Structure 1
Amino acid sequence: MSASQNPRSPSPRAWIAVILGAVVVAAGFTGAWLLRPDAEDPPAAVPTPTVVTPSATPTPEATPPPAPAGFAANTASYDLAALPQVDVFAVVPQLPVDSDPASAPTGEVVSATGAGAPVFADPAGDPVAVLPAEYVYGGTTVPVVERQEHWVRVLLTGRQATPSTGNPGQLSGWLRTQDVAFAAVDARVEVSLSARTIDIVRPGGAERIATDFGSGVEGTPTPTGRSFIMTTRVEPSFGYTRGYPLVYLSVQSPTLDGFGGADVAITAFHYHDARSGAISNGCIRLDPAAIEKLAELPMGTPVLIVP
């Protein structure tokens, strides 16, 4: 089956999506991601954990806090079916790359109400895409990086361009507050590639969950800047993960257009026996305790990776 097939087709199809250092296959059914490592699987004699750790959901926010007026309200109706969908496969040249990748988001996430929310590159213009309310590969709960009375600027999945044609960095866009539901997230993940540390930061302080990990090599580095948890999956048949959760991020490779014949190159946190130093195609390899901690976080949780 060709990797160029449309993943949104309503007919069951085989397709391949690539994770940095891993290949994701959904064959004939939705929701099953078969991840293949970029190194040999561990020996079969080592037992695989069978405990599945479901990820949490954001806490609904009953009364959003006041926000500055900012851009004028827009109450126009749009044909959402005529707009491209923002998802992990999307390439939307009109959408901007995140302009402030070192800053922390607001602590809020949003998801589309109804069928979806129109996405704007500029609140003064027309929408250029649609954020679906549901998508089998996640990415529909997104962190707010700027809050106004009528608008929120958010991080999004997909890319503006592939590395060979432009800037593949973390996408952002504007949503109307009338089209989304707000929720609160009390945590963010901070990764230091140079210090080899990972912290989960909450208002009460930081919890260090890793003091070493595997990350990208020079030619396929782990992308830096802010992103968010797109989705979390558990697939015990992935031998190299030992049945531990895989936590996928919204950001893709800064150097790879695709991987293994597919046209996406996504970053993930996952377990691997080899998990120290520059060793991967960009994914971050962790021990069991760290990956289990990350898998408990809600979708849309911000992640900041610094050099």
Structure 2
Amino acid sequence: MRVSQDPGTTSPRAWGALAIGIVVLVAGFTGAWLLRPDAAAEPAAVPTPTVVTPSATPTPEATPAPAPAGFAANTAAYDLASLPQADVFAVLPQLPVDSDPASAPTGEVVTAVGAGAPVFADPTGDPVAVLPAEYVYGGTTVPVVERQEHWVRVLLTGRQATPSTGNPGQLTGWLRAQDVVFAAVDARVEVSLSARTIDIVRPGGGERIATDFGWGVEGTPTPTGRSFIMTTRVEPSFGYTRGHPLVYLSVQSPTLDGFGGADVAITAFHYHDARSGAISNGCIRLDAAAIGKLAELPMGTPVLIRP
């Protein structure tokens, strides 16, 4: 995920010293996180961003068809404090990159109960990370791509590796069903780069919200495959957004280790006056009406970007 084409983000390890322009300043943090979709405007002062509360929310406690048994149940207790956190800044080589990026998720999302949920690369092994129940930069409500009786496989934020060292694609992991609460999402976003269309698809039909937009140039392409909405924010200091929200995705740049001095390169949907053709660092640039529609979607909403 990347502070996409235009966003840039500041490493959590450098928060104490860096001024960031697209992040919510949260009490208790000594620094802030800069999600910068455009390098064009460098904020002169630390702003106070506004968190957008989506008007659409998941329906609690989804009731899907019975899931296959799959892997055996695991009721072991684990020391979550000893595990690395699966968040936007994480590099987790233990977790696999999505092996089926063209498929749509199941229509469910999950959120950890309690302090967090242990994340497994393999349900027969030990956990390799923890998914927090809450995180200031989002990414804690995640879409299910496979459901079993005792386990779910989900998409996650973070990267297996940076582009210069390995595969930076969309991460996946397994969670125990006992550690999460389920909800239904009735929408997904489908993007076609070749057709220049963006649709919000629901069971009753789809709504086309764009017939043209801007996307990444050859050297910094927009990542394709499935991901999800990580967080939605307004950053007044980014003049090119004209005060419209930025909708950040869970997937980062396929070519940039970081952006704007940060060690993450997050992809986002955002407004820009220049918004047609291959023009960005990887983000998708849209008009105000389309951004408004996307900003209404709840966190965890699946996004499928096709070439």
TM-score interval, normalised by the smaller of the two chains: 0.7 to 0.9
Q: TM-score, normalised by structure 1?
A: 0.88
- Confirm or deny: 8 A CA contact 1:168 1:254 kept in the other structure: yes
- Confirm or deny: 8 A CA contact 2:52 2:232 kept in the other structure: no
Q: CA deviation at 1:53?
A: 5.5
Mark the CA change 1:151 to 1:200 in structure 2 (over 3 Å): closer, same or farther: same
Mark the CA change 1:288 to 1:130 in structure 2 (over 3 Å): closer, same or farther: same
Mark the CA change 1:27 to 1:201 in structure 2 (over 3 Å): closer, same or farther: closer
- Confirm or deny: 8 A CA contact 1:33 1:235 kept in the other structure: no
Residue 85 of structure 1: aligned partner: 85
1:203-232 CA distance string (max 9 Å, x none): 011100000000000000000000000000
Q: TM-score, normalised by structure 2?
A: 0.88
The alignment covers a number of residue pairs equal to 287
Residue 38 of structure 2: aligned partner: 38
> Equivalent residues in 2 for 1:87-126 (5 A)?
87-126=87-126
Distance 1:32 1:54 in 2: 20
Identity among equivalent positions (%) equals 86
Residue 53 of structure 2: aligned partner: 54
Distance 1:62 1:214 in 2: 36
Q: CA deviation at 1:234?
A: 1.5
Q: CA deviation at 1:38?
A: 3.3
Higher share of residues assigned strand: 1
- Confirm or deny: 8 A CA contact 1:14 1:27 kept in the other structure: no
Distance 1:64 1:38 in 2: 41
Mark the CA change 1:293 to 1:179 in structure 2 (over 3 Å): closer, same or farther: same
Residue 275 of structure 2: aligned partner: 275
Instruction: Point out where structure 1 has 5 or more consecutive residues left out of the alignment.
Output: 18-22, 42-50
Q: CA deviation at 1:238?
A: 2.1
Residue 13 of structure 2: aligned partner: 6
Residue 47 of structure 1: aligned partner: none
**Alpha-carbon RMSD:** 2.2
Q: CA deviation at 1:261?
A: 1.7
- Confirm or deny: 8 A CA contact 1:53 1:292 kept in the other structure: no
Residue 262 of structure 1: aligned partner: 262
The answer to whether structure 1 residue 72 and structure 2 residue 79 are counterparts is: no
Amino acid at match of 1:285: R
Amino acid at match of 1:274: A
Mark the CA change 1:134 to 1:25 in structure 2 (over 3 Å): closer, same or farther: closer
Amino acid at match of 1:173: G
Amino acid at match of 2:118: P
SS at match of 1:6: helix
> Equivalent residues in 2 for 1:120-135 (5 A)?
120-135=120-135
Mark the CA change 1:89 to 1:274 in structure 2 (over 3 Å): closer, same or farther: same
